[in-house]
Amino acid sequence: MKHCTDYSLKSLHTFGMDVKAAHWVEYASVSELRTLLMFMKTEWAKLPWIHIGGGCNLLFASDYYKGVVMHSAIKGWQVVHEDDTCLHLRVGAGVVWDELVAYTVSQGWGGMENLSLIPGEVGASAVQNIGAYGVEVKDLIVEVETVETTLGQPYVFSVKECGYAYRQSAFKGPLGKRFVITHVTYRLQKKPLFHLDYGNIRAELEHMGGEVSLENVRQAVINIRESKLPDPQVVGNAGSFFMNPVVSRQVMERIREDYPQVPFYEVDDERVKIPAGWMIEQCGWKGRSLGRAAVHDKQALVLVNLGGATGREVMDLSEAVRHDVREKFGVEIYPEVNIIS
């Protein structure tokens, strides 16, 4: 187990602020996690704690976190079930997501290819219900193994118990403080079922020569993401800052009267999802800055740290953007990133 005090998290989260934590702890096995939880219960009972993954979806609102920041270094994966059509892969929560995707694609196992290049780690994939290009990770998850934080006992969540919806899970609510994810089991297809009808995937595949294969779909997704999303190594960001709002058809029709070109995706009979990036662009925010924080110039859903921005500056920008979207469209948008105060 690793433990550091007054530890800089600058390289451990992608917004790149120089935030420090009173305690930073990294464990590498379920037994180390249980030891840590028992220690926290007796010695650090008064301290707040958070569990981070790759730090790709976090904004620290202040520059010092007075509690314990935990990180999983549980690595490794094994096939735990196999039949004629699919297999189940059990993966440690600390595995880097895109290393897993690259491996599954290299094995010819389908399911994760549309989720290529999403930053972060396996544990967070199950908390955030990460999604891109028509695939959400909930569609692949079989079960999520956890340790309960007060008693240190293992508990396995079936996918149903995880309460998944668009960018939502039970772990984003109070259960996230009661259970720490240690492993996630995913279902993968031996004969891939491709999802090519979302966004520019088909166009990008054609541009690449047209052959539909797991490697090519992965590469197409990588090309699209790299062309739109800023590289956190170059400019601090946490991917999509806001969720796309789900609104009634009535609201969408009202917006469509003034903006006939409004894009939307079907959710169910009554509701549609409108891309927040489109609304933010219509408000004139794309590429604009406030202090040292800005709206990304290629994808308005992403807020960036231009260099030296504080968490407060990003929050102020977020509030200004939300205000203008509310005024113009009468729609509330909410951050997708987890804001740590």
Which residues of this chain interact with ligand EPU, rule CB under 6 A?
132-133, 199, 228-229, 239-240, 243-244, 263, 275, 277-278, 281, 286, 299-301, 336
Residue nearest to ligand EPU as judged by C-beta position: 239
Asked if 136 and 111 touch (Cβ cutoff 8 Å), the reply is: no
CB of 198 to ligand EPU, least distance (A): 6
- Taking the complex as a whole, the smallest distance from the CB of residue 210 to ligand EPU amounts, in Å, to 21
Q: Is residue 336 annotated as part of the catalytic site, yes or no?
A: yes
Spot the catalytic one: 32, 90, 167, 312: 167
Q: Which is nearer to ligand EPU, 176 or 199 (CB)?
A: 199
Q: Which is nearer to ligand EPU, 108 or 134 (CB)?
A: 134
Q: Per residue, what are the HEC states of 177-242?
A: HHEEEEEEEEEEECCCCCCCCCCCHHHHHHHCCCCCCHHHHHHHHHHHHHHHCCCCCCCEEEEECE
* Min separation Cβ 23 and ligand EPU, Å: 28
Instruction: Output the CA torsion sign for 47, 179, 167, 90.
Output: positive
215 is catalytic: no
The answer to whether 240 is a known catalytic residue is: yes
Which is the catalytic residue, given 72, 125, 240, 318?
240
Q: How far is the CB of 277 from ligand EPU (least distance, A)?
A: 3
Closest CA to 127 of 177, 59, 70, 187: 177
Query: Quick one: 240 or 318, whose CB is closer to ligand EPU?
Result: 240
Nearer to ligand EPU, 183 or 225 (CB): 225
Token duo for residue 52: 């981070």
Query: Distance between CA atoms of 306 and 308, rounded to whole angstroms?
Result: 7
| β 154-158/141-148 pair status | antiparallel
CB atoms within 10 A of CB 44: 16
> Which residues are tagged catalytic?
167, 240, 336
